Amino acid sequence: MEPRTEDAPAPIPAWRRYLVAIWRDKLTLFALLLLIFFILAALFPGLIAPKDPLSQSLSLRNEPPMTPAADGGLPHLFGTDPLGRDVLSRLIHGARVSLSVGFAGVIVSGVIGVLLGVTAGYLRGWTDDLVMRTVDLTMGLPFLVLAIFVLHVIGGGLTNIVLILALVRWPLYARVSRGLTLALAETSIVEAARSLGCSQRRIIFRHLLPNLMSPMLVLATLELARLILAEASLSFLGLGIQPPEPSWGLMISDGRPYIRTSWWVITFPGIFILLTALSANLLATWLRAVSDPAQRWRWLTGQKRRSSGAADDGGPA
């Protein structure tokens, strides 16, 4: 998190101070724990989910929450869906889809965006023009429309969604990282490195990139929330994840015809989406405050009166 330079003294182990700071801020703690739970669910759905997400039962279609299961064992806590599958288990398995799309999309778009942004900002000239004109064009278009169009042409599925989302979201990272690079390139760190004869590659990778890490981390956390929402929308429209794969967006679209009779089929997936995105957004807000040198001390030293803008300047982009 700390801005690093080559010859800076080793920083005091910071992670403990950050842990204490999170512990003090209950809302962020809640968000972090929730996100960790979803990540665990995505990694080991079989251990957490009480039932098989794909096993259907025609006698148990659209049963309300707490209906006893046919095989004994735990009741269907969140009810069953139109095909008699356990909603809770499908939700837990669905976390894998949502979070894979979210994390993979963020990583791919982030790496492309930051590399292009830094290169453009450092080299200037025609590279800069080319990259930034592409950025302007892509960001001017509504990204969901573009994603819908491309997915219609190339077909849905996990890999395609990740690729498309990366394709439409990288310009954001490029724009921000280019701006920061322009500012950093003027500083004495880069000047010193250049006069010592560092290669351009070394300046970019050892001096510029590490200093971009913390703003990019904030941006990536915000984008995680946005990509999860985008995946849900695309799957809801039938252009994303294909059945029978459990995806939260798809579950809502499956339950939509039964809105009059079975509220649980669409309500719970939406709550899961909301909670995931909300915790990512809360975490991003906190990261932003903590990574801002002007505000960090208040959070890490636990002053009761927080700076008024601490949690809120800007908000999710």
**What residues line the site for another protein (CB under 8 A)?**
27, 137, 140-145, 148-150, 152-154, 225, 229, 232-233, 236-237, 239, 249, 252, 256, 259-260, 263, 266-267, 269-270, 273-274, 277-278, 280-282, 285, 305-306, 308-309, 311-316
Q: Which amino acid is it at 30?
A: F
Residue (99 or 252) nearer to another protein, CB: 252
**Residue number, 204 or 255, with CB nearest to another protein:** 255
How far apart are alpha carbons 196 and 54 in whole angstroms?
62
What is the smallest separation between the CB atom of 97 and another protein, expressed in angstroms? 14
Shortest spacing between CB 228 and another protein, in angstroms:
9
Q: Which is nearer to another protein, 180 or 273 (CB)?
A: 273
We find the least distance from the C-beta atom of residue 227 to another protein, in angstroms, to be: 12
- Bridge partners of residue 67, in order along the sequence: 76
Contact at 8 Å (CB) between 283 and 28? yes
Question: Minimum distance from CB of 239 to another protein (Å)?
Answer: 8
At how many degrees (to 10) do helices 87-123 and 248-255 cross?
130
State which residue, 114 or 147, has the beta carbon closest to another protein.
147
The residue type found at 93 is H
CB of 244 vs another protein, minimal distance in Å: 19
Integer CA distances (angstroms), 256 to 82, 98, 249, in order: 10, 19, 11
The span from the CA of 292 to the CA of 281, in Å, is: 17
CA distance 88 to 65: 10
Minimum distance from residue 114 beta carbon to another protein (Å): 23
Kindly tell me which of 162 and 282 has the beta carbon lying closer to another protein. Answer: 282
Give whichever of 104 and 239 is closer to another protein, judged by the CB atom: 239
CB closer to another protein, 204 vs 252: 252
| Least Cβ distance, residue 303 to another protein (angstroms) | 12
Instruction: Provide the minimum distance between the beta carbon of 84 and another protein in the complex, in angstroms, as a whole number.
Output: 21
- List CB contacts of 141: < 8 A, sequence separation 6 or more: none
Q: Which is nearer to another protein, 92 or 273 (CB)?
A: 273
Length of the chain: 317
